[in-house]
Amino acid sequence: MITDLRENDSAEYKFRFMINQPGDKYTGSPGVTLSVTGLQVEVSRSDSTWSLMKCLSSCVLPYYPSYYWYKNGQKINTGSSLFVYFGSSDSYSCSVRGYEDQRSPSVYAPKLPSVSVSSSAEIVEGSSVTLTCSSDANPAANYIWYKKDGNPDPPLSEEPQLVFSSIQSSDSGQYYCRAENLMGTKRSESISIDVKYAPKLPSVSVSSSAEIVEGSSVTLTCSSDANPAANYTWYKKNQTRPHGEGDIYRFTSISSEDRGIYYCKSENKHGWIDSSSLVVDVQYAPKLPSVSVSSSAEIVEDSSVTLTCSSDANPAAKYIWYKKDGNPDPSFSEEPHLVFSSIQSSDSGQYYC
């Protein structure tokens, strides 16, 4: 016999008897299922300000039973229904008169929701991540997930869990959830998601958009989106050794030897990537010209002779030939070559370009 029957007495019951021989026992199977139902509070919203509650029972009650209502365990009212302020942090229950010690389970708005992330380690781009929201509430709460990304913030999911099957860097940010039932609503604290990822394709730039002239100061800059922040190494094409470290590489006084194609390497513990190429074209005046004559033997009258002038310069140099024969010396040609197709004795002398 069960006295003072309660809902938690609901169960499957079996009998067992034993005989005198050790190890011999018999159990009645299948058992008998006992389902005990008591008072329940049914909640329905009337508007955004009030909630309507009714005290219901599946048990057979006396005609026209009287009900008591309780707020936080204290008796407050009578009647089969009760209006309460929507969003109240109080809990409510009811009982039937004469059975005050057998109250219904309490109903209440959601408590402060707790939020958690499935991974306690670093969150790396491409991995699976789940955010979970939970709140103590009766009736059970419904959940909505938000990202702090606007005013108002857009809803992302109406499930207890927000799942990223392959999380991306753009998913970094602060998230929160809202738990709500017919008694009220409660917002959680924010949880921060910081997605780590390898560097994206770096961008490279040069400080001067005009001509780069020898002797000037020039700065090369490399930048890349990465988390954690990337380290940078500068290289010059066709050279195996690094040319410099850091996102900025400076030429305090650039020279013609610094001409070439440069690129940077962006790297963190999740990976690395090379930038596109950056051409550094240094402009400079002509270096000391070299002069040569086509014939290394004796130059005989009427023979063909060519004098050649060349100089390292950027942009390419223009040339003028002179003969030391006055003040000023007369110019002969504005070409790299001074050609005598049939040289004469009068052409003897000293030439320069």
Max distance between CA atoms of the chain, in angstroms, equals 148
- Rounded distance between C-alpha atoms, residue 144 and residue 161, angstroms: 9
* pLDDT tens-digit series, residues 292-310: 998 777 889 989 999 999 9
- Rounded distance between C-alpha atoms, residue 62 and residue 89, angstroms: 33
Neighbours of 98 (CB within 10 A): 12
Between CA 270 and CA 273, with CA 272 as vertex, the angle to 5 degrees is 145
pLDDT value at position 319?
94
Using 50, 70 and 90 to split pLDDT, how confident is the model at 9? low
Q: Which CATH class is domain 114-196?
A: mainly beta
Taking phi over 0 as left and psi of -120 to 50 as alpha, with beta for the rest, 302 belongs to: left
- The pLDDT mean for the chain works out to 88
User: What whole-number percentage of the chain has pLDDT above 90?
Assistant: 59
Using 50, 70 and 90 to split pLDDT, how confident is the model at 6? low
Q: How far is CA 312 from CA 72, 125, 138, 286, 320, in A?
A: 95, 51, 87, 6, 15
* pLDDT tens-digit series, residues 52-89: 999 887 776 667 788 899 999 999 988 888 888 888 88
- Rounded distance between C-alpha atoms, residue 201 and residue 203, angstroms: 7
36-74: string of b/e by CB count within 10 Å (b at 16+)? Answer: eebbbbebeeeeeeebbbebebeeeeeeeeebbbbbeee
- pLDDT at residue 221 greater than cutoff 80: yes
Domain 203-283 carries which CATH code?
2.60.40.10
Cis peptide before 328 (omega within 30 of 0): yes
Answer yes or no: are the C-beta atoms of 207 and 250 closer than 8 Å: no
Least confident of 44-53, 186-195, 256-265, 344-353: 44-53
- Please determine, looking at this structure, whether the domain spanning 1-107 carries the CATH number 2.60.40.10: yes
Using 50, 70 and 90 to split pLDDT, how confident is the model at 20? low
- Both structure tokens of 329: 């010396």
pLDDT value at position 265?
96
Burial tier of 30 (Cβ tally within 10 Å: 0-12, 13-18, 19+) = exposed
216-238: string of b/e by CB count within 10 Å (b at 16+)? Answer: bebebbbbbebbeebbbbbbbee
